[in-house]
């Protein structure tokens, strides 16, 4: 069996928000206790849409500092920047030749991001999921913690691994590479617990995202205490009290979202939050949620500010991380080259 290893990444595209934290970064930190973890700042994904170079550099440091501020220990986990390990680009090319057009044509995130502009988006945006598969499989990662929006891309990663294992099956055995499953593992997504899909605070039917047009709708990781509290106070809700059970939230996306955020921050379940808050009005639930959010998020923002004032430290972490990532990636990539016939 493959050695258990965790890999995930976040794009340096500005405005890290509560969804990125609860859906991804917070859970990255938790997995360190039990797994070998590799956490990447995926700058090559970021340039699938235009990025101002100076802004990109600042955003790379911002994501790295968010990782550390959220509790990822750069000594035990590997924190690095994707473009600094050339194996990502090399393996992505091989996967461009493994993945099928039909597979990529089905990716809903591409359809959403390209919209009506299909003829005019970068070709990188289209093959982005192949690069994501390369990010993961370059380390033979077995587990990938992500938000729900990445589920389809993880399925594609498994399809690519399975096709590679199958297409080159004889060669893989002849060279004595890989194990009974093949050269690459069939990576599992880790999408569990509350808040794997944090919704906009102004519209519970839309995902909270970096590109959310209304700033009030998005709690940024760098927001100060007053701003966090204000955004929660202004969050859209209905006029009903909280139900005692999750079934009662089915047709209430805004209420369900706030309960999920509360549960994730308190490290409990939505069912548990409802048990203790059944019958509460939002006029009492929101201030409680605001206090909880401030107590959990404000220290992260403070630590990010502190780290930002010490760019040499972040540069050092990323340089050390790139060396350690490259050392793991190199033999995996050499195996691929031998298998393919390069
Ligand atoms: P974004 O989607 O905000 O542009 P990324 O694509 O870099 O950011 O995603 C980084 C991580 O954050 C991914 O694991 C993604 O699934 C997660 N994520 C993004 N938005 C949300 C959200 N609203 N709720 C939960 N997780 C999210
Ligand atoms: Na995303």
Give residue 249 CA to ligand 1 midpoint distance, Å: 23
Same domain, 68 and 126: yes
Same domain, 185 and 240: no
Domain assignment present for residue 202? The answer is no
Give residue 212's pLDDT band: very low, low, confident or very high (50, 70, 90).
confident
Q: What is the DSSP letter of 243?
A: P
Give the ligand at the shortest distance from the Cα of 46. 1
Give residue 15's pLDDT band: very low, low, confident or very high (50, 70, 90).
confident
Q: What rounded mean pLDDT belongs to the chain?
A: 96
Number of domains comprising the chain: 2
Mention every residue, 6+ apart, whose C-beta is less than 8 A from residue 76. Answer: 32, 37
Query: What's the length of the chain?
Result: 342
pLDDT at 41: 98
| pLDDT tens digits, 65-94 | 999 999 999 999 999 999 999 999 999 999
Give residue 180's pLDDT band: very low, low, confident or very high (50, 70, 90).
confident
pLDDT of residue 171 exceeding 90? yes
**Ligand 1 and 81: CB distance under 6 A:** no
Domain assignment present for residue 205? The answer is no
Same domain, 148 and 271: no
Task: Specify burial of residue 230 (Cβ count, 10 A radius: 0-12, 13-18, 19+).
Answer: middle
Same domain, 155 and 175: yes
Domain assignment present for residue 297? The answer is yes
- Say what the ipTM of the complex is: 0.96
pLDDT of residue 179 exceeding 90? no
Same domain, 183 and 289: no
Average pLDDT over residues 225-229: 95
Average pLDDT over residues 216-228: 93
Please give the residue range of the domain that contains residue 114: 5-196+311-340
Domain assignment present for residue 127? The answer is yes
CATH of the domain at 238: 1.10.240.10
Active-site residue set: 113, 207, 210
**Measured between alpha carbons, how far is 331 from 217 in angstroms, rounded to an integer?**
45
CA-wise closest residue to 56 among 42, 36, 72 = 42
CA 301, 63, 86: angle at the middle one, nearest 5? 165
| pLDDT tens digits, 19-58 | 999 999 999 999 999 999 999 999 999 999 999 999 999 9
Same domain, 46 and 159: yes
**Measured between alpha carbons, how far is 141 from 239 in angstroms, rounded to an integer?**
46
Same domain, 188 and 226: no
Same domain, 239 and 151: no
Same domain, 80 and 118: yes
Average pLDDT over residues 194-212: 92
**Ligand 1 and 20: CB distance under 6 A:** yes
pLDDT at 216: 83
Domain assignment present for residue 106? The answer is yes
Give yes or no for a contact between 230 and 299, defined as CB atoms under 8 angstroms apart: no
Same domain, 302 and 319: no
| pLDDT tens digits, 311-329 | 999 999 999 999 999 999 9
Same domain, 219 and 166: no
CATH of the domain at 29: 3.40.50.620
Domain assignment present for residue 235? The answer is yes
pLDDT at 105: 97
Give the rounded distance of the alpha carbon of 41 from its chain centre. 10
**Measured between alpha carbons, how far is 241 from 285 in angstroms, rounded to an integer?**
9
Domain assignment present for residue 90? The answer is yes
For atom 4 of ligand 1, which residue has the closest CA?
210
Same domain, 138 and 232: no
pLDDT at 210: 84
Best residue among 143, 147, 200 to mutate for probing ligand 1, ranked by most atoms within 8 Å of CB: 147
**Measured between alpha carbons, how far is 61 from 12 in angstroms, rounded to an integer?**
8
pLDDT of residue 1 exceeding 90? no
Average pLDDT over residues 208-224: 87
**Measured between alpha carbons, how far is 205 from 178 in angstroms, rounded to an integer?**
44
Give yes or no for a contact between 133 and 161, defined as CB atoms under 8 angstroms apart: yes
Give 37's strand partners. Answer: 6
| pLDDT tens digits, 138-160 | 999 999 999 999 999 999 999 99
Domain assignment present for residue 184? The answer is yes
- Positions at the binding site for ATP: 11-13, 19-20, 147-149, 198, 207-211
H-type helices in 244-281, by residue range?
253-266, 270-277
């Amino acid at each position: 069996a493959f050695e258990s290893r965790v890999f995930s990444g976040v794009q340096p595209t500005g405005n890290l928000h509560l969804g990125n934290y609860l859906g991804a970064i917070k859970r990255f930190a938790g997995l360190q206790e039990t797994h070998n973890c590799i956490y990447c700042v995926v700058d090559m994904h970021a340039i699938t849409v235009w990025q101002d170079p100076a802004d990109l550099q600042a955003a790379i440091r911002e994501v790295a500092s968010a990782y550390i501020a959220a509790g990822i220990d750069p000594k035990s986990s590997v924190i690095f920047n994707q473009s600094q390990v050339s194996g990502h680009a090399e393996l992505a090319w091989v996967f461009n030749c493994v993945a099928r057009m039909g597979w990529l044509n089905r990716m809903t995130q591409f359809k959403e991001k390209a919209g009506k502009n299909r003829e005019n988006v970068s070709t990188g945006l289209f093959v982005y999921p192949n690069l994501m598969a390369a990010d993961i499989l370059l380390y033979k990662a077995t587990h990938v913690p992500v938000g729900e929006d990445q589920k389809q891309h993880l399925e594609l990663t498994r399809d690519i691994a399975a096709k590679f294992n199958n297409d080159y099956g004889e060669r893989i055995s002849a060279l004595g590479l890989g194990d009974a499953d093949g050269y690459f593992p069939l990576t599992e997504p880790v999408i569990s617990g509350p808040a794997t899909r944090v919704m906009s605070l102004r519209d519970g039917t839309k995902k909270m995202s970096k590109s959310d047009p209304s700033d009030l709708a998005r709690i940024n990781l760098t927001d100060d205490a007053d701003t966090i509290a204000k955004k929660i106070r202004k969050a859209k809700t209905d006029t009903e009290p909280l139900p005692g059970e999750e079934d009662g939230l089915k047709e209430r996306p805004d209420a369900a979202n706030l309960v999920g955020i509360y549960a994730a921050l308190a490290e409990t379940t939505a069912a548990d939050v409802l048990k203790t808050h059944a019958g509460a009005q939002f006029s009492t639930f929101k201030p409680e949620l605001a206090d909880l959010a401030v107590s959990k998020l404000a220290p992260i923002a403070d630590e990010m500010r502190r780290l930002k004032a010490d760019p040499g430290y972040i540069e050092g972490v990323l340089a050390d991380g790139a060396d350690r990532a490259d050392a793991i990636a190199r033999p995996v990539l050499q195996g691929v080259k031998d298998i393919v016939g390069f």
